[in-house]
Amino acid sequence: MKEKISDIDKGYIAGFIDGEGSIKIGKHKQKDRFILNPRIEVYNSNQEVIQYIQSKIGGNIGCFHKRNPHYNESYRLLINGREDIIKVLMFIKDYLKVKKERAEILLEYCRLRDDKIRLCRLVHQKDRLEISHYDCREWSLFEKMKKLNKRGDE
């Protein structure tokens, strides 16, 4: 968080995430294993809005060039560190209407992962430890999120 966030801003940002954003756990393959990637994304063609939200909750802005001449350029605000995700969701979760369940799942996933990393560091006494194995609770949260974010009819 870059500054104190007013209740009005919390509601505004939550509404924007409800309407124009996504709360998810992505999955991608890296070498011979899968990596789970928690993230909050907000998309919009109005750069000022994206910059305003960034000024309140942090994150990184990317620009997506228009694929069609009739479209505007699009901007994405990405929050993808577990610590940052937890801070953002703790500020806005009570204001979310549509994506509240997703926020709770993502919070649970991030906390579970952080606890697991802390425990491994204590046991192995290493400053930096890569934990590539995901347990059944982490995969279960991924699957719940995937189901909630599924588009269209089944």
Q: What is the pLDDT of residue 151?
A: 78
Instruction: Assess if residue 114 is contained within a domain.
Output: yes
**How many domains are there within the chain?**
1
Reported as a pLDDT band with limits 50, 70 and 90, residue 154 is: very low
pLDDT of 119: 74
In a domain, 154, yes or no: no
In a domain, 95, yes or no: yes
Per residue in 90-104, pLDDT (tens digit) is 999 999 999 999 999
What is the mean pLDDT of the segment spanning 71-97?
94
Edge-to-edge strands of the sheet including 60-64? 21-30, 33-44, 74-79, 60-64
Q: Give the structural domain span for 37.
A: 7-148
Residue 47 in domain: yes
Residue 2 forms part of a structural domain: no
Residue 54 included in any domain: yes
| CATH number for 31 | 3.10.28.10
Pick from 59, 65, 67: nearest CA to 41: 59
140 found inside a domain: yes
Residue 39 to residues 60, 81, 107, Cα–Cα distance (Å): 12, 7, 11
Tell me whether residue 153 is in a domain. Answer: no
pLDDT score of 140 more than 70: yes
Cα within 13 Å of Cα(75), Cβ side? 15
- Beta bridge partners, 40, equal 23, 79
Q: What is the pLDDT confidence band of residue 37, given thresholds at 50, 70 and 90?
A: very high
* Alpha-carbon separation of residue 17 from 56, 118, 133, 149 (angstroms): 13, 30, 30, 14
Name the residue type at position 112.
L
pTM: 0.86
pLDDT tens column, 20-32: 999 999 998 888 8
Which amino acid is it at 82?
R
